[in-house]
Amino acid sequence: MYQPVNLKNKFSLFDARWQPKVIAQMNDYQFKIVKIEGDFIWHAHPETDEAFIVVEGVLRIDFRDGHVLVNPGELYVVPKGVEHKTSAEGVVKMMMIEPCGVLNTGHEGGERTAENDVWI
């Protein structure tokens, strides 16, 4: 009856890049995992902070005035309303924690917007 969520197992269920998958929900917050590689688009989330926890690889988060590198086992929270762009030279596996309904592209939209609330 009681089973933990196994991150390694969940990451093995998909290969798509930039397509977050929901693995758990706590109150109004979702825990999403995603694989990324290459560059994303500049965007912001005006209503919420966004937490990134790196499981594998090195995540780069660019800001208009600098950047931060997030290594495996590290966490970084982008404050609400701060414009940012994520990227990775190789494949990065990470978890994001954000309120239900938050789109990966914020209000930017476009072809990089992933389908929301996809559970695995």
pLDDT at position 51 is 98
For 53-83, the pLDDT digits (tens) are 999 999 999 999 999 999 999 999 999 999 9
pLDDT at position 106 is 75
Q: What DSSP letter does each residue of 41-105 carry, written as one string?
A: --B--TT--EEEEEEES-EEEEETTEEEEE-TT-EEEEPTT--BEEEEEEEEEEEEEEETT--TT
pLDDT at position 102 is 87
What's the whole-number mean pLDDT along residues 23-28? 98
pLDDT at position 113 is 85
